[in-house]
Copies of this chain bind each other. A is one copy, B any other.
Amino acid sequence: MLLTASAHGVYPIAPTPFTDDGAIDTASIDRLTDFYAGCGCTGITILGQLGEAPKLDHAEAVSIATQVIRRVPRLPVIVGASAPGFAAMRALTREVMDAGAAGVMIAPPNTLRTDDQIVGYYRQAAEAIGADVPFVLQDYPLTFSVQMTPAVIRRIVTDLPSCVMLKHEDWPGLEKISTLRAFERDGSMRHIAILCGNGGLFLDYEMERGADGANTGYCFPDMLVDVVRLSAAGQREQAHDLFDAHLPLLRYEQQPGAGLAVRKYVLMKRGLLTSATQRKPAAPMSATARAEVDHLLARLARHDARARLG
């Protein structure tokens, strides 16, 4: 089952569960994977930036990917394959594709500047992993310092048939979705899936602009599923009501660097992770921050019972 341009719904960015001493927590991987499948997610992305991929060695990465893929044979699993060189990118891609992955996600190295450099990089990356491997183009200037205009994305999509999905997380990014969809309408670009990241901070309006769903790791992926479903069903105000109820917590989780600790803390409180441990280097979460998240959860629980976490 390969990823295609008709991907849609919610592909959570899965965190990598560790035990308190930093070992890979395979039990939590199963529990989390089952939860994703059970709450309506349509795919899963693993080993991304917030999956602590750089802290895993090659064998660990392959092992985690294999476990998740086997656990949910009916869901497409996308594996983050960004690497400083094409040799490592190719090596990981080959192994996870052999294991049954649906495709890989590739972020740009933060040294790219010009349009030609960006397009050239993806051309070489696609060649390195093989033209038959579907890939997700990750567009996250805030983190990667690489700015892709809609025209650059169109060049990549046009040049590389294996580019089937955009992980859209430019900021601001609403007009970018509109522009890309207009390219499709005027026939200058084929259709690709657009799933939105950036912590989900604009998911409400991104859906209305033409996004196909979410590709982010917010600690309530079940809320993302609901918002995407309500929005697709035309229940606009209900979608916004639910989204707005979560926005205070979602905004808190979306803090660069600090957010992963929040995410793991809530997933632990939800019973999905046994431990909120991150491997080093990790930004610790202060007692005050934990109290703030507890406060946000208590306030959220007035609107969404899933946030009642005792």
Cα A292 to Cα B86 with chains together (Å)? 31
Contact yes or no, A88 B58, CB < 8 A: yes
* Contact call A178/B255, Cβ cutoff below 8 A: no
Tell me, rounded to whole Å, the shortest Cβ–Cβ distance linking A183 to chain B. Answer: 15
A121 / chain B contacts, CB cutoff of 8 Å: 281
- Smallest Cβ distance from A114 to chain B, in angstroms? 5
C-beta contact mask, A242-260 vs B, less than 8 Å → 1, else 0? 0110011001100111110
- A-side interface mostly: helix
Judge whether B251 and A248 touch: CB under 8 Å. no
Tell me whether A244 and B248 are in contact (CB under 8 A): yes
Q: A110-B111, A147-B113 are in contact. Are A55 and B172 (CB under 8 A)?
A: no
Partner of A110, one of B83, B88, B110, B151: B110
A296 → B minimal CB distance (Å):
9
Q: Are A255 and B171 in contact (CB under 8 A)?
A: yes
Interface size on A, residues (CB 8 A): 65
Who on chain B is nearest to A82 by CB? B84
* Interface set, chain A 105-133, CB cutoff 8 A to B: 110-111, 113-117, 120-121, 124, 127-128
Report B-chain residues with C-beta under 8 Å of the C-beta of A292. Answer: 174, 205, 208
Contacts A115-B114, A247-B244, A288-B209 given: A172-B255 contact, CB under 8 Å? yes
